[in-house]
């Protein structure tokens, strides 16, 4: 995880919050059989992208790879697509609640980062449904490039968050 976090407190807190929600919903099944829950890597990758000060293709690549691995793991566990989307919605809720307190500027990036993560989890989930051409590695590289390009726009000066459009006075620090 990125050294930009200063301490691991935010990441640990996020994992704790997600774990509490996940245990209630039993998203991660049979850890002895399937290994550590891949969502832990997804949480770290999401935090790296959301908390970044500038666009990072390395962080974007970690996010894409982690989310695809998460989708693949959930398929092997027998989860359905709806449960994966619910899992990401719960994570987004935990992220918004925590980042609202610790990094309010990062809130503007959550929706797009979560959309990329969900799309890549679905790609990973359906990985074995694909024919042999193009290869999974080629598809993954193409998705990394497309996602990095999409996420890089979050750091462009002209990017305006939905929060600013909906309530410009509050976003500008007004009453």
pLDDT per position as a tens digit, 58-77: 899 999 999 999 999 988 88
Give me the number of domains the chain comprises.
1
pLDDT digits (tens, 9 = 90+) for 100-109: 878 887 888 8
Of residues 11 and 63, more confidence is placed in 63
| E strand intervals along the chain | none
Q: Give the burial class of 151: count Cβ atoms within 10 A of its Cβ; 0-12 exposed, 13-18 middle, 19 or more buried.
A: buried
pLDDT band at 113 (very low <50, low <70, confident <90, very high): very high
Full-model pTM: 0.73
> Which domain range does residue 49 map to?
3-171
Q: How many Cβ atoms from other residues are within 10 Å of residue 50's Cβ?
A: 23
Quote the CA–CA distance of 129 and 133 in Å, as a whole number. Answer: 12
Conformational region of residue 26, where left means phi above 0, alpha means psi within -120 to 50, and beta covers everything else: left
Conformational region of residue 79, where left means phi above 0, alpha means psi within -120 to 50, and beta covers everything else: beta
**DSSP letter at 153?**
G
pLDDT digits (tens, 9 = 90+) for 37-60: 788 889 989 999 988 888 888 899
């Amino acid at each position: 995880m990125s050294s930009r976090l200063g301490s691991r407190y935010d990441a640990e807190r996020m994992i704790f919050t997600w774990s509490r929600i996940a245990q209630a919903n039993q998203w991660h099944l049979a850890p002895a059989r399937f290994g550590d829950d891949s969502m832990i890597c997804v949480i770290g990758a999401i935090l790296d992208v959301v908390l970044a000060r500038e666009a990072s293709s390395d962080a974007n690549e970690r996010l894409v790879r982690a989310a695809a691995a998460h989708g693949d793991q959930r398929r092997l566990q027998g989860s359905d697509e709806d449960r994966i989307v619910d899992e990401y919605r719960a994570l987004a809720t935990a992220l918004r609640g925590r980042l609202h307190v610790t990094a309010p500027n990062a809130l503007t990036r959550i929706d797009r980062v979560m959309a990329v993560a969900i799309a890549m989890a679905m790609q990973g989930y359906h990985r074995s449904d694909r024919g042999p051409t193009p290869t999974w590695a080629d598809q993954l590289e193409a998705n990394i490039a497309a996602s990095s390009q999409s996420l890089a726009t979050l750091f462009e000066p002209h990017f305006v968050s939905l929060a600013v459009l909906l309530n410009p006075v509050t976003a500008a620090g007004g009453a």
